Structure 1
Amino acid sequence: MVTIANEHLQAEINLHGAELSSLKGDDGTEYMWQADPQVWARHAPVLFPIVGALKDDEYHYQGQTYHMTRHGFARDMDFEVLRQEDNAVELVLTDTAESRAKFPFAFRLVLSYRLAGNSLEVGYSVNNPSHDDELYFSIGAHPAFSLPLDAESAYDEYTLTFDPAETRTHIPLDGKYADYAQRDEQEVGQQALSHELFKDDALIYELNGEETTMSLKSSKGGHGVALTVSDAPYVGIWSNYPVPGNFCCIEPWWGIADAPDASGELTEKRGINRLAPGGTFVQGYTIKTF
């Protein structure tokens, strides 16, 4: 476990999965879900090298078939500390024989966490160290924010607010697959939270790379949290159902689950990122606490 802190916040990051496991305010408020194993035993897994599920948990690349389960393997691998300061840390994961059995690419994945004021800045850097081969990958975030954040509030007194509020493409799920054939347009502004909101699994919207802030606030005031992402194509909003969890995930994604009719070819996968030899992909998001 690695701990970073400033005058407003303290964050704990587990080297296993480079997972943010705690984000506490100076008054002791814990903003992250504490991974109750009876509900959902994670805090904020890193989704790499896929986001969501592959059709039949497999894909094809250069005539070979590879098997990989939902959200990939990075969340279950041990990262190493690349560098650390009082208020910041960088963690790195590189390909191994174990990873290549599922994902036949060289890669260098760096997760950065930096506290600035009352915010946590999270960064992703994916480098393709190969001199010859392109790297195909997706990456995404899955932070679960604990709700309620005040003893005076209840889960269903929170609202999820999108800024800007506008019409967005909603992509429903068919089981664990993203059903593009059934996508529709929805006005997305303020949404009252309830556990039943997630009875059909995650709510998925296209962001189209537009800077968007998604906030969780109680109608009674008090503490809240906001996540801002400037260049993500998708976001997922999720909580556990039917076993209710007192958390809400806000998940910026640079990738998405396969559609029910996906070909299975990695190079044709919707939302896949394609990185040239020697290239680096840099993205991230910011969590603001209040």
Structure 2
Amino acid sequence: MTTTISNSKLSASIKHAGAELFSIKDNQNNEYIWEGNPDFWGKHSPVLFPIVGTLKNNTYIIKEKEYQLPRHGFARDMEFELIEKTENKAIFSLKSSEETLKKYPFEFELQLIYTLTENSLNLEYKITNNSNEKMPFSIGAHPAIALPGNFEDYALQFEKEEELKYYLLENDLISSKTKVLKTVNNEVSLNYDLFKNDALIFKTLDSKSLNILKNSKPYVKVDYKDFPSLGIWTKENAPFICIEPWLGYSDTDENTGDLYKKEGILILDENKKISVKFSITIL
């Protein structure tokens, strides 16, 4: 099943499977979300929960018991319930179940709230800990912005002038090796060589938004003020770029497995909730 919301400037369509955004169109019918061709990457904009990235040996420990979670967790592969719908807003919910408790021993509710305002799609993640104990988790976004035409006609323009230090992945884990993304006027021209070692992982950034430029003109803006970390990724020769606001990231090789002590993890108190937002604006 799918749900579509709209206003005078945009429409957005969301699959109930994973509550995954798969389309943003303007009123000229231009598409801004990657089509999901499995020859490159068969997803569009999955939610990453209750982890972001990869666990060492895909394993973690809670109270001396081992659990397994796949890369980026399980929420993206589960059916969400549509619990509210208006013309320009849709709210989807995923609640813990017997199935999730086998992988992640916490009672929770995850809501994805999509709202169109003018030429922006605002996405809110609302996480509630319904357990009687502290709940460790990460949450992240993975929207793939479609880049029609020549990939090298596009550039990323960061909000602030800063040293763009990113961490390299080794066997899907974050290594201690870093590089610095060179900029000119806060801009980075896109080319596939940037991603020959997989995603660019920024643990922290001063910039809380970036513009995607097409032939030096504004194309799409992503705002992520609630998210300290950012991933940027594409596949060789694929006509998209993923701009991924994160709270959390992959394990390092030194990780002990204790989820409460994982680098970048959030700890939500019992019977508390947290909300974080980001937006995609068509320029």
Same-fold call, TM > 0.5?
yes
Q: What TM bracket, shorter-length normalisation?
A: over 0.9
Identify the residue that residue 204 of structure 1 maps to in structure 2: 201
Matched, 1:192 2:189: yes
Distance 1:169 1:211 in 2: 12
Identify the residue that residue 182 of structure 1 maps to in structure 2: 177
**Between 31-40 and 184-193, the greater mean CA deviation after superposition:** 184-193
- Name which of 201, 215, 236 aligns with 2:231: 236
Structure-1-length-normalised TM-score: 0.93
Identify the residue that residue 252 of structure 2 maps to in structure 1: 259
RMSD after superposition: 1.4
1:126-141 mapped onto 2 (5 Å cutoff): 126-130=127-131, 132-141=132-141
Distance 1:186 1:195 in 2: 14
1:1-290 mapped onto 2 (5 Å cutoff): 1-130=2-131, 132-148=132-148, 153-179=149-175, 181-183=176-178, 189-207=186-204, 210=206, 212-219=208-215, 221=217, 224-241=219-236, 244-290=237-283
Distance 2:63 2:5 in 1: 43
Aligned residues of 2:134 and 2:267 also touching (Cα < 8 A)? yes
**How far is 1:187 from its partner?**
5.2
Cα 1:211–1:194, aligned 2, differ >3 Å: closer, same or farther?
closer
Distance 1:215 1:25 in 2: 17
**How far is 1:206 from its partner?**
2.8
Structure-2-length-normalised TM-score: 0.95
Aligned residues of 2:182 and 2:188 also touching (Cα < 8 A)? no
Per-residue deviation, residues 152-199 of structure 1 (Å, max 9, x unmatched): x521110011111212432111120111x2235555521111122211
Distance 2:97 2:182 in 1: 44
Q: Secondary structure at the match of 1:172?
A: strand
Q: Which amino acid aligns with 1:134?
A: K
Q: Which amino acid aligns with 2:194?
A: L
Aligned residues of 1:168 and 1:207 also touching (Cα < 8 A)? no
Aligned residues of 2:155 and 2:216 also touching (Cα < 8 A)? no
Distance 1:286 1:25 in 2: 15
Aligned residues of 1:215 and 1:224 also touching (Cα < 8 A)? yes
**How far is 1:260 from its partner?**
1.3
Aligned residues of 1:211 and 1:231 also touching (Cα < 8 A)? no
Cα 1:185–1:194, aligned 2, differ >3 Å: closer, same or farther?
closer
Distance 2:103 2:53 in 1: 15
* Unpaired stretches in structure 1, ≥5 consecutive residues: none
Give the share of equivalent positions with the same residue, in percent. 36
Q: Which amino acid aligns with 2:91?
A: E
**How far is 1:249 from its partner?**
0.2
Q: Secondary structure at the match of 2:106?
A: coil
Q: Secondary structure at the match of 2:152?
A: helix
Structure 1 segments of 4+ aligned residues over 3 angstroms from their partners: 183-188
Distance 2:51 2:261 in 1: 13
* Unpaired stretches in structure 2, ≥5 consecutive residues: none
**How far is 1:5 from its partner?**
0.1
